[in-house]
Each structure stands twice: as structure tokens, then as C-alpha cells.
């Protein structure tokens, strides 16, 4: 299974998604530091929201096979600038969370992730489990090995 790092602003659903992917009981828990597990790396939203702390995300991305950019469908803005994925030498996927909330705007969240450069986007409700299996299936796909020079 590929290792996934979750990045997004505070309250975007990173820790809840981590719990859903790990089949843990869903409960609110504020992530205060980088939480590193076997195949998941959960990061505090403040790291994505604070320029200086963002460097730590870049370093931890090297520990993962896949970078997951999270945007809640209820967010009024995105942190991710256009074409940011070209700066990462890993697969980058977009994950839209909170898709079943009353004020969810899936299309806007998807547009933000596509503008940032995500080609593959998953729609998830971590509480109900909707979309979780699709992410797990993606992480279990065989990795294509690039020939060494």
C-alpha cells in the first residue's frame, strides 16, 4: 500500500479521514503535531496555513508516496494556488471532504483542486464512509517503477 500524507487547512477533515481510512472510531481530535503511522501521515492545518510551517510539509512529503490535498466542500476559499502540484515529485490527489453537509459545494471544491493541478479527485464523507473505499483502492494499486538510469 502506498503511504499517503494529508494536507489541508484546519477543519478540512484530515484527521477524520485518517480515522475512516484506518477503520478507527470517528471522534473529533485536534491534530497538534505531525502524526505519522504506517501508511498515513496526518498534519495540522496550521502547517498549511502558515508560510514558515509549510516547509515542514515539504519535508514530510518526501516520506510519502502520495500527497493528498484536502478541501472541504464547505470551505469559503482554498489555500492551494494554481499549479502547485508541479512542485511535488510525488503523485498528488485531490480529496473533497464533507460532501454531504447542507452547504457543501462539491463543484467549487473540485474546481479549486483541479486548478491546483490534481488530476485524480475523490469525494468523501468520512462519517458515513462514502468514498473511503475508493481512496483505499487507489492506495493499493500497484506502483509503476521507473527505470533507473
pLDDT in tens, 66-87: 999 999 999 999 888 888 888 7
Q: Is the pLDDT of residue 60 over 80?
A: no
Q: Is the pLDDT of residue 29 over 80?
A: no
pLDDT at 33: 54
pLDDT at 55: 58
Q: Is the pLDDT of residue 54 over 70?
A: no
37, 15 Cβ separation under 8 angstroms? no
Q: Is the pLDDT of residue 26 over 80?
A: no
Spell out the alpha helix ranges (H) of 1-141. Answer: 14-21, 45-49, 51-61, 106-116, 132-140
Mean pLDDT of the chain: 84
> Buried b vs exposed e over 100-115: b needs ≥16 C-beta within 10 Å?
eeeebbeebbbebbee
DSSP 18-55: HHHHTTPPP------S-EE-SSEEE--HHHHHSHHHHH
pLDDT at 49: 65
Q: What CA–CA distance (Å, rounded) separates 142 from 107?
A: 29
Over the stretch 88-132, which tens digit does the pLDDT of each residue have? 788 999 999 999 999 999 999 999 999 999 999 999 999 999 999
What number of helices (H) and strands (E) belong to the chain? 5, 6
pTM score > 0.75 for this model?
A: yes
| Total Cβ atoms within 10 A of residue 73 | 23
The CATH homologous superfamily for domain 4-140 is P-loop containing nucleotide triphosphate hydrolases (3.40.50.300)
pLDDT at 24: 80
89, 67 Cβ separation under 8 angstroms? no
64, 89 Cβ separation under 8 angstroms? no
- Enumerate the domain spans of the chain: 4-140
Three-class SS state of 72: strand
Q: Sorting pLDDT into bands at 50, 70 and 90, what band is 53? A: low
Q: Is 25 exposed, middle or buried (0-12, 13-18, 19+ CB in 10 A)?
A: exposed
Amino acid at each position: 500500500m502506498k503511504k499517503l500524507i494529508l494536507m489541508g487547512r484546519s477543519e478540512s477533515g484530515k484527521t477524520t479521514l485518517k480515522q475512516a481510512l484506518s477503520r478507527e472510531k470517528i471522534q473529533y481530535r485536534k491534530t497538534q503535531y505531525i502524526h505519522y503511522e504506517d501508511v498515513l501521515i496526518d498534519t495540522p492545518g496550521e502547517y498549511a496555513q502558515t508560510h514558515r510551517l509549510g516547509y515542514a510539509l515539504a519535508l514530510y512529503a518526501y516520506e510519502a508516496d502520495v500527497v493528498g490535498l484536502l478541501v472541504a466542500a464547505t470551505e469559503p476559499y482554498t489555500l492551494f494556488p494554481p499549479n502547485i502540484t508541479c512542485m511535488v515529485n510525488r503523485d498528488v490527489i485531490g480529496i473533497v471532504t464533507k460532501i454531504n453537509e447542507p452547504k457543501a459545494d462539491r463543484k467549487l471544491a473540485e474546481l479549486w483542486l483541479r486548478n491546483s493541478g490534481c488530476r485524480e479527485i475523490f469525494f468523501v464523507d468520512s462519517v458515513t464512509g462514502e468514498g473511503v473505499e475508493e481512496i483505499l483502492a487507489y492506495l493499493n494499486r500497484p506502483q509503476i517503477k521507473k527505470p533507473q538510469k
